[in-house]
Structure 1
Amino acid sequence: MFRQQSFAAAGGKLYVVATPIGNLDDITYRAVRVLREVDWIAAEDTRHTRKLLAHFGIATPLISCHEHNEATRAAELVARLQKGESGALVSDAGLPGIADPGAQLVRAAVERGIPVVPVPGASAALAALVVSGLPTKRFRFVGFLPRQSRERARALDRLKTATDTLLFYEAPHRLAETLEALLAVLGDRRAVLARELTKVHEEIVRGSLTEILALVRAEGVRGECTLVVEGADEEGDAAQEDVWWEGLSVAEHVAAYEARGLTRKEAMKAVARDRGVSKREVYAALLDSAR
């Protein structure tokens, strides 16, 4: 049923407030005003947010609202909003609910007819996209890929033919593994690694997935990472990519992946996935070709 949000409704409002992703100067005047005026602030990590509030001289009470307590906390906070209190929702950095807690509280407020007001600001994904040099007309935010290799491969398979520019978040200790998976499933596309955006050690690396993977392996990486990856070719090259290895022997297929930067073990996994066979069969074929 269509329902129009009324800003004159009885009760309080929930403000969804973006906070800086690094440089504190990126907070908006409006965000500072809202954070000062509301009755409480629901924060992903109250210790982290307390430092932000102290910097701007804000004394509003903080309430924890993170992935482990959001389901129960949402009911409590919505009840307070219904009594007329106003509240702000923040995450540690950027926009709440984008690869961060917050969506459950927003949904609960919407379901009870409480006005939800956006206070926009910094976003690591969009910041990385606009400086990437890759197409920005259409993009798809993926966020964090699954940690398990099988689920991650399935998720990437679904993105294989997407022509949108792809946006990923990743932790530094998993970055090399994720780059290997992207290379194995999507092929060697243009990409950008944006690290520590807006912070002192901000770094933006442009190149192919192979080149970025080689750099990460050689030098390592620290800090929060955003990956921007070129979408599939709109003219159909993506469909051809599915069978790019047709006509190659298993050994040649493995060698092609190794040339893209994968280890022998990773290349064998990729070949097994491409051909729909087991890794044992790939290994046996390699042994036969070496005789």
Structure 2
Amino acid sequence: MSTKNGKTGNVYLIPSTLGDMEPLEVLPISIKQTIEQLDYYIVENEKTARHFIKKISPRKSQPSLKLSVLNKFTEAQEIPTFLNPCFEGFDVGILSEAGCPGIADPGAAVVKIAHEKNIQVIPLVGPSSILLALMASGMNGQNFAFNGYLPIDNTER
């Protein structure tokens, strides 16, 4: 495939807020700058992703956004196609529903494929509920294991 300017695009891992806080109060300005440069996104939920992007960058053209949905209903064979814009020279952002993409998040599947295809993956700084819980626990952070979140359903929990 030919690429724009002969370069393969990058994949940016874009964190989002945890809870109902204003994104620019807790996320670094680099998140805003990255969102303003990207038109291609891989998201868990289109509606909430558009809302988050609009909060970060109110003047960003919503019709120009090209969103691929990655959730439990996404077919496995569809996931590699989400990276096609990279081979056309465009950068792609993976936007987590809450917290950091790839950390207990379906974005990990895309990151794995990006590495296999020699696409540069650039993680951006943001909140991770797992790390925030570890930080606040008082436990030794030198050695811990995350075995998944508790089930949402009370009977399963």
The verdict on a shared fold, with TM-score over 0.5 as the criterion, is yes
Tell me the distance in 1 between the aligned counterparts of 2:91 and 2:105: 21
Give yes or no for the alignment of 1:14 onto 2:19.
no
2:111 is the alignment partner of 1:106: yes
Q: Which has the larger radius of gyration?
A: 1
Percent identical pairs in the alignment equals 27
- 2:68 maps to which of 58, 63, 80: 63
Counterpart CA distance in 2 for 1:109 and 1:142 is 25
Inter-CA distance 76–50: structure 2 relative to 1 (3 Å threshold)? same
Structure 1 residue aligned with 2:153: 173
Aligned counterparts of 1:35 and 1:15: Cα–Cα separation in 2: 9
Shift of 1:16: 1.1
List per-residue Cα deviations over 1:144-164 (Å, max 9, x = no partner): xxxxxxxxxxxxxxxxxxxxx
2:122 corresponding residue in structure 1 = 117
Q: Are 1:133 and 2:152 counterparts?
A: no
Amino acid at match of 1:74: I
The one-letter code sitting in structure 2 at the alignment partner of 1:18 is P
- Of residues 86, 93, 96, the one that matches 2:91 is 86
Alignment root-mean-square deviation, CA: 2.1
Amino acid in structure 2 at the alignment position of 1:35? I
Contact 1:36 1:59 in 2 (8 A): no
- Distance, in Å, in 2 between the alignment partners of 1:36 and 1:72 is 29
TM normalised by structure 2 equals 0.80
Match of 1:194 in 2: none
Match of 1:81, as an amino acid? C
The unaligned stretches of length 5 or more in structure 2 are: 1-5
The AA in structure 2 aligned to 1:39 is: D
Q: Where is the strand percentage greater, Structure 1 or Structure 2?
A: 1
1:62-101 residue CA offsets vs partner (Å, 9 max, x unmatched): 3212232162332222222111111100110011122221
Deviation digits for residues 225-245 of structure 1, max 9, x if unmatched? Answer: xxxxxxxxxxxxxxxxxxxxx
> Which residue is 2:51 aligned to?
51
- In the alignment, structure 1 residue 74 sits paired with structure 2 residue 79: yes
1:135 Cα deviation (Å)? Answer: 2.4
Q: Is the 8 A contact 1:31 1:119 kept in 2?
A: yes
CA–CA distance in 1 between the matches of 2:152 and 2:74? 26
Length-normalised TM-score, structure 1: 0.46
Whole-Å separation in 1 of the counterparts to 2:152 and 2:117: 40
> What one-letter code is carried by the residue in structure 2 that aligns with 1:30?
S
Q: From 126, 143, 147, give the equivalent of 1:142.
A: 147
Structure ranking higher on relative contact order (CA contacts 8 Å, 6+ apart): 2
How far apart are the structure 2 equivalents of 1:39 and 1:104? 21
Match of 2:102 in 1: 97
Aligned length: 144
How far apart, in 1, do the equivalents of 2:80 and 2:156 lie?
A: 39
Q: Which residue of 2 aligns with 1:28?
A: 28
Q: Is the 8 A contact 1:81 1:87 kept in 2?
A: yes
